């Protein structure tokens, strides 16, 4: 037992959790926490908007694979992080957000900068705490990290009234904690694994569909050994992009609305789907009723509630996918040495790939999104981290940027949060400063959080904004072109702002490129730069993202071009 | 969710602390689960509450409802009760117009057949307390509707599994 204030106990508890970076912004209701930060053994990164603090914590968490932490004050500070919480919640990212709250006696009185953040954040957090006495704080922090990181990860909020931060108590810092009513699943049911083995051995056209769960549990090696043992082609969901090296001979890339055409094609021809850490989202599978019809579906997931939520399945293996995959591989290895590569299914796979390579036409310009992203891949080292903004840029990244080293790519895939990529890339850089970090961006999305340039420059976290700039809300424009007979509404950005000048105004580096040669040079310069670089790459505003599975249709209805 | 479907009684043991009911009802709203009634009260352990939820639904949806409830940190235990192997009761207070003596005596007779109690008599009204399965309460309600029900309060179903469990 040691006596200290609630605020001090919070900082101490964070240090004990091994937190080394906190992203945040102070205000009236979290002043005691900021006071306790002085001299603390953790780095505070001051943001310019609380939404970005949450996205930075998110990017940090995705790379470190442990909870990112952000701070905000009460009222508007707290509501500003809600988008970040919802983003993390949709993608199952561990995060601990700490908000200040008005003093206990003021709660419910509509006080200045009071907001019911517990109520507001309820649907987009895994749990939320509001400690009522200072002495509760150490245990609350311990529980928050445990809940946020175990089972299916997610964001947890701790809302601390100002007087609770200021009050003094004898603090006990527990090393272990139990939460009654919370028992995240761990071990797979062996009989279900046995049934999966049978189905996989009997399947003639098996396919693996790897989701974000593979990345969250770091099951890269297990996934690869399964694929190689059984010679099963691997598609991913968009969230699972990079769960499997995209230059691997069995890789087919992401399925879905803007999935790789060969991936969308092969999965509908399969007779057995092994979905690993995936949730059959509408964005990935198109129509729930059509997807997987007549096929055997094996579903591995850590969250029992995902089984049967969108799709009824034949075999369900609930548990951490890393250990489930390991068990599955072990059981399969007893029955088979290695499936032959020379079989009709893999031949068909080759045919499909070849068909799309020959039939898809490139957009006829000197500089296109596709060429730019291929160039980026050529130059960026395999261990470089790539994230994206949201919109066309994101879907082009999905289509044309191959992830080689598993776990080096992430994006706001569930919520689709514009403005996510740039702050998240700064968070990723804080987590792994030694590798280059790139935000594949579009102008509309980068606009939303571009003031994080200040953070990147001042905190010496140089990231690269790879800005494919059509001065358009391009994805919306594409939909208006396709579904609204080119009636453009609210999509033009009118050559504003000048991104080179924006970068320079913050002390970052801005480079505008007009050719592939200039782009190549700019990427090389940016990788070596010790300040953030915005590469402004003008592209044609009429360049669309293809292929495209229109909403409400099935993967078989994929449109491959205009 | 369809009007049709079977009755399900879901019984949950939850933490007895502020905000728990909000989390559960918010989940029902956000996930589009349609519930008929919900009752909450403390159990033999003062730090735990029992929540009884009734819903007219199908098996797949109820399975999702149970799984989503289990995900909530404050929910300790959830199960779907087998209606044949559990006891369940609801309480209703029914106030109706009753001025003339014939009506009053009829109501008293009906109440006694249904093992209800007259708990209040005013100049123009009578209030009956009746306990039983929702069906029984519906039957009584239909019977006395002719007199003009002026106010009605139902608690929703509370339930426990039978025997040693």
Structure-token pair, residue A173: 């810092």
For residue B30, list chain A residues with Cβ-Cβ distance below 8 A: 123
User: Which entry of A209, A257, A295, A475 is annotated as an active-site residue?
Assistant: A475
CB-neighbour burial class of residue A185 (10 A; exposed 0-12, middle 13-18, buried 19+): middle
For residue B14, list chain A residues with Cβ-Cβ distance below 8 A: 181
Angle (CA) A195 A276 A555, round 5° = 105
Closest-approach residue (CA) in chain B for A143: B73
Q: Which residues contact A512 (CB under 8 A, 6 or more apart)?
A: A499, A500, A535, A536, A537, A538
User: Cβ of B73 and A122 within 8 Å?
Assistant: no
DSSP B87: E
What mean pLDDT is predicted for residues A457-480?
97
Residue A340 banded pLDDT, cuts 50, 70, 90: confident
User: In the annotation, is A112 catalytic?
Assistant: yes
Contact between residue A298 and residue A273 where contact means Cβ atoms under 8 Å apart = yes
User: In the annotation, is A265 catalytic?
Assistant: no
Angle between helices A50-64 and A421-431 (to 10 degrees): 50
**Annotated domain spans of chain B:** 6-81, 87-161
CB-neighbour burial class of residue B64 (10 A; exposed 0-12, middle 13-18, buried 19+): middle
- Secondary structure element (H or E) that encloses residue A327, with its range: helix A321-333
The separation between the first and the last C-alpha atoms of chain A, rounded to the nearest angstrom, is 69
Contact between residue A456 and residue A464 where contact means Cβ atoms under 8 Å apart = no
Backbone torsion region of residue A525, taken as left when φ is above 0, otherwise alpha when ψ lies between -120 and 50, otherwise beta: alpha
Structure-token pair, residue A443: 């102008």
Instruction: Please give the C-alpha separations between residue A225 and each of A220, A221, A336, in angstroms, as whole numbers.
Output: 9, 6, 13
The half-sphere exposure of A416 on its side-chain side, counting CA atoms within 13 A, is 8
CATH 1.10.4080.10 fits B87-161, yes or no: no
Q: Where are the beta strands (DSSP E) in B104-147?
A: 117-121, 125-132
Structure-token pair, residue A412: 């706001």
CATH 3.40.50.970 fits A2-171, yes or no: yes
Q: Which residue has the higher pLDDT, B5 or A240?
A: A240
**Annotated domain spans of chain A:** 2-171, 190-358, 369-548
d(C-alpha A545, C-alpha A542), whole Å:
10
CA diameter of chain A: 73
Q: Where are the beta strands (DSSP E) in A320-370?
A: none
Low-confidence ranges of chain B (pLDDT < 50): 1-2
CA dihedral over A167, A172, A176, A182, signed as positive or negative: negative
d(C-alpha A372, C-alpha A506), whole Å:
25
Look at residue A112 and tell me whether its pLDDT is greater than 70: yes
User: Cβ of A126 and B73 within 8 Å?
Assistant: yes
User: Cβ of A305 and B15 within 8 Å?
Assistant: no
For residue A126, list chain B residues with Cβ-Cβ distance below 8 A: 73
- Predicted pLDDT of residue A21: 98
Residue of B67, B69, B72 to mutate, interface with A, max A Cβ within 10 Å: B67
Contact between residue A3 and residue A167 where contact means Cβ atoms under 8 Å apart = no
What mean pLDDT is predicted for residues A11-25?
98
Tell whether B62 is within 8 A of chain A (Cβ): no
| Assembly ipTM | 0.90
CA distance A182 to chain B (A): 5
Summary mean pLDDT of chain A:
96
What backbone phi and psi angles, to 5 degrees, belong to A277? 60, 40
Interface of B with A in 71-130 (CB under 8 A): 71-77
What mean pLDDT is predicted for residues A335-339?
87
For residue B62, list chain A residues with Cβ-Cβ distance below 8 A: none
CB atoms within 10 A of CB A294: 5
CB-neighbour burial class of residue A403 (10 A; exposed 0-12, middle 13-18, buried 19+): buried
Of B23, B68, B73, nearest to A147 by CB-CB distance is: B73
Strands A168-171, A155-161: pairing kind: unpaired
Tell whether B60 is within 8 A of chain A (Cβ): yes
What mean pLDDT is predicted for residues A331-343?
89
d(C-alpha A119, C-alpha A531), whole Å:
40
Domain B6-81 is in which class?
alpha beta
CB atoms within 10 A of CB B4: 8
Residue A32 banded pLDDT, cuts 50, 70, 90: very high
User: In the annotation, is A475 catalytic?
Assistant: yes
- Predicted pLDDT of residue A137: 98
Look at residue A236 and tell me whether its pLDDT is greater than 70: yes
Please state, for a pLDDT cut of 70, what percent of chain A lies above it.
100
Contact between residue A129 and residue A135 where contact means Cβ atoms under 8 Å apart = no
pLDDT digits (tens, 9 = 90+) for A269-297: 999 999 999 999 998 998 888 898 999 99
User: In the annotation, is A478 catalytic?
Assistant: no
CB-neighbour burial class of residue A553 (10 A; exposed 0-12, middle 13-18, buried 19+): middle
For residue A119, list chain B residues with Cβ-Cβ distance below 8 A: 22
pLDDT digits (tens, 9 = 90+) for A365-393: 999 999 999 999 999 999 999 999 999 99
User: Cβ of B60 and A308 within 8 Å?
Assistant: yes
Helix (H, G, I), strand (E, B) or coil at B120: strand
User: Which entry of A142, A162, A265, A375 is annotated as an active-site residue?
Assistant: A162
Residue A117: closest CA among A106, A139, A102 = A102
DSSP A536: E
Secondary-structure breakdown of chain A: helix, strand, coil percentages, each rounded to the nearest 5: 40, 15, 40
Report whether the peptide linkage leading into residue A497 is cis, meaning its omega lies within 30 degrees of zero: yes
CB atoms within 10 A of CB A272: 23
d(C-alpha A125, C-alpha A440), whole Å:
27
Look at residue A559 and tell me whether its pLDDT is greater than 90: no
Residue for token pair 């609350």:
A140
Q: Which residues contact B81 (CB under 8 A, 6 or more apart)?
A: B9, B10, B11, B88, B159, B161
Residue A468: closest CA among A539, A419, A524, A416 = A539
Look at residue A528 and tell me whether its pLDDT is greater than 90: yes
d(C-alpha A452, C-alpha A436), whole Å:
17
User: Cβ of A304 and B67 within 8 Å?
Assistant: yes
The half-sphere exposure of B60 on its side-chain side, counting CA atoms within 13 A, is 10
A369-548 shares the fold of A2-171: yes
Closest-approach residue (CA) in chain A for B60: A308
What mean pLDDT is predicted for residues A511-531?
98
Instruction: Identify the architecture of domain A369-548 in CATH.
Output: 3-Layer(aba) Sandwich (3.40)
- Predicted pLDDT of residue A527: 98
User: In the annotation, is A257 catalytic?
Assistant: no
What backbone phi and psi angles, to 5 degrees, belong to B41? -165, 160
Predicted structure pTM score: 0.95
For residue A308, list chain B residues with Cβ-Cβ distance below 8 A: 60, 63-64
The half-sphere exposure of A165 on its side-chain side, counting CA atoms within 13 A, is 25
pLDDT digits (tens, 9 = 90+) for A470-496: 999 999 999 999 999 999 999 999 999
What mean pLDDT is predicted for residues A516-534?
98
- Predicted pLDDT of residue B2: 45
CATH code for the structural domain at A190-358: 3.40.50.1220
- Predicted pLDDT of residue B1: 37
Contact between residue A513 and residue A522 where contact means Cβ atoms under 8 Å apart = yes
Residue B30: closest CA among A302, A79, A87, A121 = A121
CA distance A83 to chain B (A): 17
- Predicted pLDDT of residue A562: 67
Of B22, B67, B76, nearest to A180 by CB-CB distance is: B76
- Secondary structure element (H or E) that encloses residue A128, with its range: strand A127-129
User: Cβ of A303 and B71 within 8 Å?
Assistant: yes
Residue A298: strand pairing partners: A274, A315
User: Which entry of A4, A8, A23, A50 is annotated as an active-site residue?
Assistant: A50
Angle between helices B134-144 and B101-113 (to 10 degrees): 160
Q: Where are the beta strands (DSSP E) in A241-307?
A: 251-254, 272-276, 296-301
The separation between the first and the last C-alpha atoms of chain B, rounded to the nearest angstrom, is 32
Residue for token pair 């992009």:
A241
């Amino acid at each position: 037992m040691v006596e200290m204030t609630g605020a001090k106990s919070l900082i101490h508890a964070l240090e004990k959790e091994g937190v080394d970076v906190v992203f945040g912004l102070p205000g009236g209701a979290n002043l005691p926490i900021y006071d306790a930060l002085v001299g603390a053994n953790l780095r505070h990164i001051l943001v310019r908007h609380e939404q970005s603090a949450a996205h930075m914590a998110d990017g940090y968490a995705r790379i470190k694979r442990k909870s990112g932490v952000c701070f905000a004050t009460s009222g508007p500070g707290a509501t500003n992080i809600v988008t970040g919480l919802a983003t993390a919640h949709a993608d199952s990212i561990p995060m601990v957000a700490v908000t200040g709250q008005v003093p206990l006696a003021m709660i419910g009185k509509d006080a200045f900068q009071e907001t019911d953040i517990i109520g507001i954040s309820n649907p987009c957090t895994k749990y939320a705490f509001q400690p009522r006495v200072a002495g509760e704080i150490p245990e609350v922090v311990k529980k928050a990290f445990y809940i946020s990181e175990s089972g299916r990860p997610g964001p947890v909020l701790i809302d601390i009234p100002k007087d609770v931060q200021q009050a003094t108590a004898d603090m006990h810092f527990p090393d272990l904690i139990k939460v009654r009513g919370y028992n995240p699943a761990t071990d797979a049911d062996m009989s279900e694994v046995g049934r999966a083995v049978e189905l996989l051995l009997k399947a003639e056209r098996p396919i693996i569909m790897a989701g974000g769960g593979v990345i969250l549990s770091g099951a890269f090696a297990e996934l690869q050994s399964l694929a190689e043992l059984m010679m099963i082609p691997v598609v991913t969901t968009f969230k699972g992009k990079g769960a499997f090296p995209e230059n691997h001979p069995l890789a087919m890339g992401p399925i879905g609305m803007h999935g790789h055409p060969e991936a969308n094609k092969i999965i509908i021809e399969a007779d057995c789907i092994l979905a690993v850490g995936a949730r059959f989202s509408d964005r990935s599978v198109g129509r729930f009723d059509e997807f997987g019809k007549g096929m055997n579906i094996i579903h591995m997931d850590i969250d029992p509630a995902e089984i049967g939520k969108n799709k009824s399945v034949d075999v369900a293996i609930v548990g951490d996918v890393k250990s489930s995959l390991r068990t599955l591989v072990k059981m399969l290895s007893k029955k088979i040495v290695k499936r032959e590569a020379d079989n009709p299914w893999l031949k068909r796979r080759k045919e499909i790939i070849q068909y799309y390579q020959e039939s898809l036409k490139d957009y006829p310009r000197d500089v296109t999104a596709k060429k730019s992203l291929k160039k980026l891949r050529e130059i960026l080292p395999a261990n470089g981290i790539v994230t994206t903004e949201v919109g066309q840029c994101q879907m082009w990244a999905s289509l044309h940027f191959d992830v080689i080293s598993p776990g080096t790519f992430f994006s706001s895939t569930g919520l689709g949060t514009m403005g996510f990529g740039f702050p998240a890339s700064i968070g990723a850089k804080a987590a792994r400063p030694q590798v280059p970090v790139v935000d594949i961006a579009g102008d509309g999305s980068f606009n939303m959080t571009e003031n994080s340039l200040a953070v990147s420059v001042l905190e010496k976290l140089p990231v690269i904004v790879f800005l494919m700039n059509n001065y358009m809300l391009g994805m919306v424009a594409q939909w208006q072109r396709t579904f609204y007979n080119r009636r453009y509404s609210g999509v033009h950005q009118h050559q504003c702002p000048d991104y080179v000048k924006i970068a320079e105004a913050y002390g970052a580096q801005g480079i505008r490129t007009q050719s592939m040669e200039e782009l190549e040079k700019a990427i090389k310069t940016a990788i070596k730069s010790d300040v953030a670089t915005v590469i402004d790459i003008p592209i044609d505003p009429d360049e669309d993202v293809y292929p495209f599975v229109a909403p409400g249709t099935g993967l078989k209805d994929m449109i491959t071009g205009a | 969710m369809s009007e049709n479907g079977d009755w399900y009684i879901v019984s949950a043991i939850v933490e007895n602390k502020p905000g728990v009911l909000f989390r559960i009802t918010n989940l029902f709203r956000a996930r589009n689960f349609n519930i008929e009634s919900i009752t909450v009260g403390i159990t033999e352990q003062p730090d735990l509450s029992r929540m009884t939820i009734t819903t007219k639904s199908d098996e797949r949806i109820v399975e999702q409802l149970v799984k989503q409830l289990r995900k909530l940190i404050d929910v300790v235990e959830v199960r779907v009760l087998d209606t044949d192997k559990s006891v369940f009761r609801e309480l209703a207070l029914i106030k109706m117009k009753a001025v003339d003596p014939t009506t009053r005596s009829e109501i008293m007779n009906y109440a006694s057949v249904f093992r209800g109690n007259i708990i209040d008599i005013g100049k123009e009204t009578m209030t009956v307390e009746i306990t039983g399965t929702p069906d029984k309460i519906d039957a009584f309600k239909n019977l006395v509707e002719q007199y003009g029900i002026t106010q009605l309060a139902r608690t929703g179903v509370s339930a426990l599994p039978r025997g040693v469990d």
